[in-house]
Structure 1
Amino acid sequence: MNNTFGLPIIPDNDNERLAKLKSLHILDTYEENGTFKHIAAIASRMFNVPIALVNFVDRDYVITKAQTGMDGLNEVSRAVSLCSLAILNSDVTVFENAREEPCLLANPMVIGDFGLQFYAAAPLTTSDGYNIGAVCIVDKVPREFTASDQKMLQSLASIVMDEIEKS
């Protein structure tokens, strides 16, 4: 995997994390049209961003199960997707101005045609503590993201996990 971040993106518990993700059978389904799609739409409107995603981090790829604003893109290399960074933390990951972040200066999503400048993601954490993905919001302009905003994004991630773990 050609890591574009210049820092480790594989958590120490990655084998166990991947086993947990596989056991939930999320990756075996098509893009979600129900709850996850609604969460992405709500996140896009709530934070006034053009792109919102519900993503799951597999071994080599980040798989999009629901999205607003990224039609047709269902997977991105884990070495490129910022969700690879988001699953490393229990808190919300925020890059208010991605072009000022040293770990993103070689990332094609930031420096390439896509032009990502703002990213925030709340990890999708299982009840036994594995970060299997993230609810992400993206913009092509820098922006502020308050502590209150972070709590709202975490709440959306909690709804996604409640839906996953209720079955």
Structure 2
Amino acid sequence: MKNTFIGVNLIPQNDEERLQKLQEFDILNTPPEGAFNHIAAMAARMFNVPIALVALVDSERVWFKANVGMEGVENVSRGISLCSLAILNDGPTVFPDAVNEPCLLANPLVTGNFGLRFYAGAPLRTAEGYNLGTLCIVDKQPREFSEADQKVLSQLAAIVMDEIELRYLRKKVVEDPVA
């Protein structure tokens, strides 16, 4: 994987266990689902941004379980996705104006035609403490993002994680109703 983030190691120390947990949820490459789409759409409207994603960070790519504003794009390389940075933190990751961030100066989403300027992502954190991905919002204009906004984004991310866990439990009951 090519890492486009200057001076940042994108691989957390617990990445092997994190990826194992992500695989356990059996959510990668699954069809769109209402709850995830609704939360992403709600985030886009609440924060008045053109793009909102439920993004899961796999070993080589970041896959979108929900996608508002980048329809038709299913995933991006882990080495260019800002969600790869966001899973390194336990709280929200915010770049009010990405072109002013030294670690993003070689990132093609920021410096290329896409023109990413604002990013905020809250981790999708399991009960065991693994950050599987993010609920993130993106804009092509710089913007401020208050602590109150960060708290709301984190709460929405917690709802996404609840949905992931409920989805897993429902599937487990269907597969093995006796357990």
Give the TM-score normalised by the residue count of structure 2: 0.91
Deviation of the 1:94 alpha carbon: 0.1
Which aligned pairs between 1:55-94 and structure 2 lie closer than 5 A?
Answer: 55-94=55-94
Task: Structure 1 unaligned segments of length 5 or more: list them.
Answer: none
Aligned pair count reads 166
Equivalent position SS for 1:132: strand
Tell me which residue corresponds to 2:24. Answer: 23
Q: Tell me the equivalent position of 1:141.
A: 141
What is the CA–CA distance in structure 2 between the aligned matches of 1:158 and 1:93, rounded to whole Å? 15
Aligned to 2:27, the other structure's residue is in SS state coil
1:46 corresponds to 2:65 = no
Q: Cα RMSD over matched residues?
A: 0.7
Shift of 1:28: 4.1
Distance 1:25 1:78 in 2: 19
Whole-Å Cα distance in 2 between the matches of residues 91 and 28 of structure 1?
26
Tell me, in whole angstroms, the C-alpha distance in 2 between the residues paired with 1:142 and 1:161. 28
Which SS does the other structure have where 1:156 is aligned?
A: helix
User: Displacement, 1:35?
Assistant: 0.4
Deviations 1:87-119 (A, max 9, x none): 000010000000000000000000000000000
Question: What residue in structure 1 maps to residue 153 of structure 2?
Answer: 153
1:8 aligned residue? 9
Equivalent residue, structure 2, for 1:108: 108
Output the amino acid matched with 1:100.
N
Letter in 2 for 1:24: F
Separation (CA, whole Å) in 1 of partners of 2:40 and 2:83: 15
Q: Which runs of 4+ in 1 moved over 2 A?
A: none
Name the amino acid aligned to 1:93: T
Q: TM-score, normalised by structure 1?
A: 0.98
Q: CA deviation at 1:33?
A: 3.0
Larger Rg: 2
**For the residues of structure 1 that align with 2:55 and 2:150, how far apart are their CA atoms?**
17
The amino acid that maps onto 1:162 is: D
Q: Which has the higher helix share?
A: 2
- Post-superposition shift, 1:67? 1.1
CA displacement at 1:44 relative to structure 2: 0.2
**Separation in structure 1 between the aligned mates of residue 142 and residue 29 of structure 2, nearest angstrom:** 35
Q: Identity, % of aligned pairs? A: 62
AA aligned opposite 2:30: T
In structure 2, runs of 5+ residues without a counterpart are: 170-179
Q: Deviations over 1:93-146 (max 9, x none)?
A: 000000000000000000000000000000000011100000000000000000
